[in-house]
Amino acid sequence: MPLVRRLRLPAVLCALAVLICELIARPYANMGICDDGPYILVAQKLAATGHVAYNGWSAAMLLWQLYVGAAFVKLLGFSFTTVRMSTLLVAVLMAFFLQRTLVLADITERNATLGTLALVLSPLYLLLSVTFMSDIHGLFGIVLCLYGCLRALRAPSANSSVGWLCFAVAASAIIGTSRQLTWLGVLVMVPCTLWLLRSQRRVLLGGVAANLAGFVSVFACMLWLKRQPYTTPEQFGIGAFNVSYTLRQFTLFFLDIPFLLLPVGAVFLPQIFKSRRRVLAAALLVLAIFLAVYPSHLRGRFEPLLEPTFHDWVTDRGGFDGMVLKGTAPSFLDRGARGFLALASLGGLIGLIASSFNAQGPRQDPSAPAERLSWKSLGILLGPFALAYTLLLVYRALTIAGAGTPEVIDRYALGLLVVALIAATRYYQDGIDPRLPRAAAVLVAITAMYGVAVTHNTFALYRARVSLMTELRAAGVPDTSVDNGWDYNLDVELQHASHINNDEIVLPADAYVPMTDPPAGTCEMFWYRYTPHIDARYGVSFDPNACYGPAPFAPVHYNRWLASKPGTLYVVNYRVSSKQ
């Protein structure tokens, strides 16, 4: 056991599990996925020139991940996959540190390992880990900051405690240059840690000095970004929004958290049958109220309660569903599977709520050390961070509400998933049983299979889109004549222009060129104004009869693991008179 503790084998196991699952999924595709295409091209230019040059598709600063991605380009040469592997490296390291963070939160090695695997083998984590999106990098900064704060609380000396506080500040400040939500570590989590250490004068003074340096670095980075050309700064101020729609969106958002942490959440399901009837009645009443806020045509089908409740990266169609191709992507989870997932995840949530009202106090593991991180200290450390994180999500959603449709998507929940994971695992360990049940390990294995399949299927679909474009180019059709989804279109636009034609660019003032509406008799292209160099005659579709019917090109089939049949992509005409 001492050797196992020194080598941190459980944490290494978590890291290797992520790597092995990703290798099985074969996550490669020579095109951008969601927002990451323009980011990858910025990293490529950074590797070639040594300078960061934005291209009109970034509200995030991206600096940390750009330099990591550029290092991979220098070492291995450029490709979309090469740059994405830099994110995979970060995801593997984060799995290691997440397991150690749970242990520092007084969760046993076994429970910490199962809890970590529940998150890092989820479809959301596995899929984002092989993109060049900023989400995994930002989460890495949050986990490292939390790890440093917990080490500071447990440090044997004042100097050691100050050193770990400096580590926490540096991790949050530096990695936050990739995704600014990570700066909540400097702004909220470290100050909360200092409050817990306020009785130690030397630690307090050293920690405050480090934290002030973090504040200055955050402010300096924001000033620097404001002066960079071809960036899209956040717009402050709340736009018009629909209150009921906003409430529904955030209800679905938070109800997705038990599903995304299914192996830990579902173990609370048996607690429903061990709790008092009035508690169970109260939990069911909450669900009834939830259903009541939905339009009447949905209530009869119970559609809102079917998991995944929130669609973007993890959906009933498998992986990322925001590419906006014509037609409807084939289903991955049928209604029966979605209903089963809903029973497991939402039932676990009801069980957690019910067990929290149990008359019995928490059980203490006799083998646990006497000096433990109290629930009060854990709440002070994580509670304000979770609240600030949630308020920023709400504010961002309302800021970009536009025509009354606030934007909040499942990947925004990653920071809250860490908080929920620590709280749920520690609560089960202290209040129900010192060991998570074997069912949690079974659910982790099932989740991993699901995550690998979703990751594979997503990249198989993207490879099919690239293959279809290769076929069209061989037939003499240029990329600028095809709508292959907005993420591919962004890559094409940046081959012909220095920046995306984005009306949110502030510097230079004349960067955006207003676009006229497409002529009558042209199929609509999503976000066409961003890509003025594309004049689509054809489009890629899941439906061969979309727009103006099939074009004379062979469809492309792609394999879908754990699905009933393979997927197929077609080329359709975008104009009445389109000809080969």
In a domain, 473, yes or no: yes
Report pTM. 0.93
C-alpha to C-alpha distance for 385 and 415, rounded to whole angstroms: 9
Whether residue 292 is predicted with pLDDT greater than 70 in this model: the reply is no
- Which whole number is the average pLDDT over 209-235? 93
Domain that holds residue 567: 456-573
Indicate the number of domains in the chain: 1
pLDDT in tens, 257-287: 999 999 999 999 998 887 777 666 766 766 6
Let me know if residue 217 belongs to a domain: no
Task: Return the amino acid letter for 3.
Answer: L
DSSP single-letter state for residue 518 = P
Q: Answer whether residue 468 is part of any domain.
A: yes
CA–CA distances in Å: residue 424 to residues 208, 243, 352, 518, 566: 31, 30, 8, 52, 38
| pLDDT > 50? residue 322 | yes
d(CA 146, CA 426): 16
Question: Taking 90 as the threshold, does the pLDDT of residue 361 lie above it?
Answer: no
Please, are residues 389 and 184 in contact by the beta-carbon 8 Å criterion?
yes
Residue 397 lies in a domain: no
Query: Which residue type occupies 206?
Result: G
**Do 395 and 331 meet the contact criterion of CB atoms below 8 Å apart?**
no
So what's the pLDDT on residue 234? 75
**186-190, 306-310, 322-326, 514-518: which range is least confident on average?**
306-310
Q: Is 405 helix (H, G, I), strand (E, B) or coil?
A: coil
DSSP code for 276? -
* DSSP secondary structure of 331-368: PSS-HHHHHHHHHHHHHHHHHHHHHTT-SSPPP--TTS
d(CA 13, CA 172): 25
How many residues appear in the chain?
Answer: 580
Residue 536's Cβ-count burial label (10 Å; 0-12, 13-18, 19+) is buried
Which pairs count as long-range contacts for 391-400, CB under 8 Å and 24+ apart, including other chains? 392/181, 392/184, 394/250, 395/238, 396/234, 397/246, 397/249, 397/250, 398/238, 398/239, 398/241, 398/246, 399/234, 399/235, 399/236, 399/237, 399/238, 399/239, 400/235, 400/239
Provide the mean pLDDT of the chain: 89
Residue 338 near residue 306, CB atoms below 8 Å: yes
- Measured in whole angstroms, how far is the alpha carbon of residue 466 from the centre of its chain? 24
- Torsion sign over Cα 156, 160, 161, 165: negative
Query: Is-contact 178 141, C-beta < 8 A?
Result: yes
Distance separating the N- and C-terminal Cα atoms of the chain:
69
Q: Does the residue 52 lie in any domain?
A: no
- The pLDDT tens digits for 24-75 are 999 999 999 999 999 999 999 999 999 999 999 987 899 999 999 999 999 9
Query: Can you give the pLDDT at residue 363?
Result: 54
Q: Transcribe 289-327 into DSSP letters.
A: HHHHTS-HHHHTTTGGGSSS-S-SSSBTTBS---S--BS
- Which has the minimum average pLDDT: 10-19, 69-78, 154-163, 269-278? 269-278
Residue 485 within any structural domain of the chain: yes
Residue 522 lies in a domain: yes
Is there a contact between 543 and 568 (Cβ–Cβ < 8 Å)? no
pLDDT tens-place string over residues 135-153: 999 999 999 999 999 999 9
Query: Which amino acid does the sequence have at 324?
Result: V
Which of the four pLDDT bands, split at 50, 70 and 90, describes residue 102? very high
Phi then psi for 240, rounded to 5 degrees? -65, 140
Q: Look at residue 505 and tell me if it is in a domain.
A: yes
Q: Regarding beta strands 538-541 and 556-558, do their DSSP bridges make them parallel or antiparallel, or are they unpaired?
A: unpaired
Q: How far is it, in rounded angstroms, from Cα 367 to Cα 375? A: 18
Given a cut of 50, whether residue 301 has pLDDT beyond it is no
Name the pLDDT band for 238 (thresholds 50, 70, 90): low
Query: Taking 90 as the threshold, does the pLDDT of residue 241 lie above it?
Result: no
Distance CA 44, CA 197 (A): 44
